[in-house]
Amino acid sequence: QKEVEQNSGPLSVPEGAIASLNCTYSDRGSQSFFWYRQYSGKSPELIMFIYSNGDKEDGRFTAQLNKASQYVSLLIRDSQPSDSATYLCAVNPPGGSYIPTFGRGTSLIVHP
Amino acid sequence: DAGVIQSPRHEVTEMGQEVTLRCKPISGHDYLFWYRQTMMRGLELLIYFNNNVPIDDSGMPEDRFSAKMPNASFSTLKIQPSEPRDSAVYFCASSPTSGISTDTQYFGPGTRLTVL
């Protein structure tokens, strides 16, 4: 059973702080990892993907992957109230399948 | 491109009625997915198609659910008869197949279904 685990939150951070969102997965051979943002009442939208160990930065967002420990994280620097949303972690399994397993998401609240 | 299009955006029906949800994927995308999202269970994959062919429907909860993709630009998800526990947001998503594992999914706006 493939599992992707996230703390449901809510994670509350002040504006300007760093928000750290974490995700663990059970399938050791997983290859690709995605972070989706979902605003209330809207559909998920991709914000980052990562497939190599280490860090990947895109603007205020940094994805971190540690395959040995089977976790992936998303850091949001200089958090803004507009970052308040649910963040879904998705993991592609090994074997060339492009069908991800989604976590249930972490709710982030950035307060002014 | 207009993105993934779903209709209707909201549907309210009574228990026992038939419900049909519609999806138009992004042109050129080979994969189409149907998801259901609830607070209790999160985002669940119901079924997906590759080149109009259903590949995995193991997520379809019961025989009351059926999905079709008669051509590359149209898919339907049907629930007959509907039950209150089917109330959820149903998302359609499509994905290209460029051959890399980082292909991402593009979600439609969703259909919010309420079964009374």
- Which chain A residue shows the shortest CA-CA distance from B33? A99
Residue B88's nearest CA partner among B27, B21, B25, B23 is B21
The C-alpha atoms of residue A93 and residue A66 are separated, in whole angstroms, by 15
What tokens were used for A105?
A: 């998401």
The answer to whether A99 faces chain B, any CB pair under 8 Å, is yes
| Record: contact A49-B91, CB cut-off 8 A | no
Q: Residue B109 is nearest to which of A31, A34, A43, comparing CB atoms?
A: A43
Q: Residue A44 is nearest to which of B41, B102, B107, comparing CB atoms?
A: B107
Average confidence (pLDDT) over A9-24 = 96
Model pLDDT for residues A86-106, shown as the tens digit of each residue: 999 999 877 766 678 899 999
Q: What is the pLDDT of residue A92?
A: 85
HSE-CB for B109 with a 13 A CA cutoff: 8
Backbone torsions φ then ψ of A52, nearest 5 degrees = -115, 145
Instruction: For residue B1, name the pLDDT band (cuts at 50, 70, 90).
Output: low
∠ CA(B113), CA(B110), CA(B44), 5° rounding?
A: 80
The C-alpha atoms of residue B97 and residue B85 are separated, in whole angstroms, by 34
**SS3 state at A61:** strand
DSSP B28-41: T--EEEEEEEETTT
Average confidence (pLDDT) over B73-97 = 95
| Record: contact B101-A92, CB cut-off 8 A | yes
B65 close to B45: Cβ distance less than 8 angstroms: no
The answer to whether A3 faces chain B, any CB pair under 8 Å, is no
